[in-house]
Each structure stands twice: as structure tokens, then as C-alpha cells.
Amino acid sequence: MARHPRIGVLAVQGAVVEHERALVDVGAAPVRVRDARGLADLDGLVIPGGETTTLRRVAGDSGLIDALRATRRADLPILGTCAGLIALADDIVGGDPTLVGGLDISVRRNGYGRQVASFETELVVDGLGDGPLEAVFIRAPVIVRVGEDVRVHATHHGHAVIVSAGPLMGLSFHPELTPDRRFHEWLVDCARAYARRSARQTKEGLGVGA
């Protein structure tokens, strides 16, 4: 039987346990990532919500940000939610430097307002399962620009709230807080493909089957 994909959950902050439960629900083996060493031998990664300033301070001081960038450049599948979306954005409005990058988008932190402006809404989603989606927005970032190579899967009041490009997906909201698992399923599907690709490249490098 094929092994469960090893999906890291960046455990610096955010709803780590909720993401772990969602990953277990879709057949993955979650792994908590607290430092650069934790990124080894992963098939995918979740960057949860929280405060990007905290992520920048804690992960930057430990060298984890640089390791995340290298992992992203190696095409590891990554799902970024809320602050995780900001981490994946190539441009953060207001002058903050890019964190991990990879998504050709511009985002504004807390664009939907502070904690008291949190809300739930129903989204129509393109290309990610059937039926509408209940989305929970908490101090959510707003995507103000989308590059031409980025796919928009859903919008809210004229702004993209679900975007993807290759093995990267970013969400303005918190999918781990609802029973809908389509985004974690997407990540696991990408992780399985990544693991197969990595295994094939390893065999080719060793000359197996040549």
C-alpha cells in the first residue's frame, strides 16, 4: 500500500491542530515544521494563518524563511491560508518585503478589516470540486492584483480570494475551520504527484531501470 503523503504544517503560529485534522481526514500524514530541518522529506506544506510579523520575526531569525524559499523554488506543493497567502505573495502592499513568494499577486494585510470585521460567506468555486463553499474570513488579506499566470478560483466583492499557480495555492480565508476538505484534498493530490516525481528522479539519478 502506498504511504500517506507527508504534509508539513508550519507550526510557528495559527490553527495548526485544525489543519492537521483536515489533512488526516484526506489521507495525509501531518508533520509539524518548526525549523528548517523539519522541511526535509516532505511531499507538501501548509502555511497557516496568524500574524505575518510574527512569522517574519520567528522564522526569519531561525533561517526558516530562507529554507521555505528554497523549498518553494524546488516546486514543493504549498497551501497558504490567510497569513499564509501573504507569505506566498510576491508583493505586499505597504512596503513589507516578500516572505516566501511564488504567487504573482499583490496583497493588502487586514484588507477586510480587523478582528471585529470577521465574517462568513458562501463562495462559488471554479475548478475545485462541486457546489458552493462556506468560507470564514478573519482579519483577512485582500488580493489587489493578480498576475496573468495566476488562476482565480473564486472572488468576493470583486476581489480574488482563491488563487493558484502550479503547485501553489493561496486563500484569503480559513478552510480548516469548516468541514469542507477540497483544498486539503488538492494539496494531497499535488503531494502525491510530487512524491512520484521525486522518486522517479531519484531512480534516474541512481541509474535504476536504465
* Structural domain count of the chain: 1
Q: Which of 176, 184, 185, 190 is catalytic?
A: 176
pLDDT at position 96: 86
Q: What is the mean pLDDT of residues 195-206?
A: 77
pLDDT digits (tens, 9 = 90+) for 16-30: 999 999 999 999 999
In a domain, 51, yes or no: yes
Mean of per-residue pLDDT scores for the chain: 90
Instruction: Give yes or no: 185 in active site.
Output: no
Look at 50 and 122; give whichever has higher pLDDT.
122
Reported pTM: 0.92
Domain membership of residue 60 (yes or no) is: yes
- Encode pLDDT of 61-71 as tens digits: 778 999 999 99
Q: Look at residue 177 and tell me if it is in a domain.
A: yes
Residue 69 is part of a domain; what is its CATH number? 3.40.50.880
Which residue among 19, 20, 82, 159 is the active-site one? 82
Q: Is residue 82 annotated as part of the catalytic site, yes or no?
A: yes
User: Is 1 among the domain residues?
Assistant: no
Residue 200: which domain range? 6-206
Say if 202 falls within a structural domain. yes
The catalytic residue among 19, 156, 174, 184 is 174
In the residue annotation, 190 being an active-site residue is answered as no
> In the prediction, which pLDDT does 9 show?
97
12 closest CA partner among 58, 66, 45, 46: 58
Q: Which residues contact 141 (CB under 8 A, 6 or more apart)?
A: 82, 83, 85, 86, 89, 107, 108, 109, 110, 111, 112, 172
Percent of the chain with pLDDT over 90: 74
**pLDDT (mean) for 5-13:** 93
Assigned domain for 155 exists: yes
With respect to residue 25, please indicate whether it lies within any of the assigned structural domains: yes
Dump pLDDT digits (tens) for 29-50: 999 999 999 999 999 999 999 8
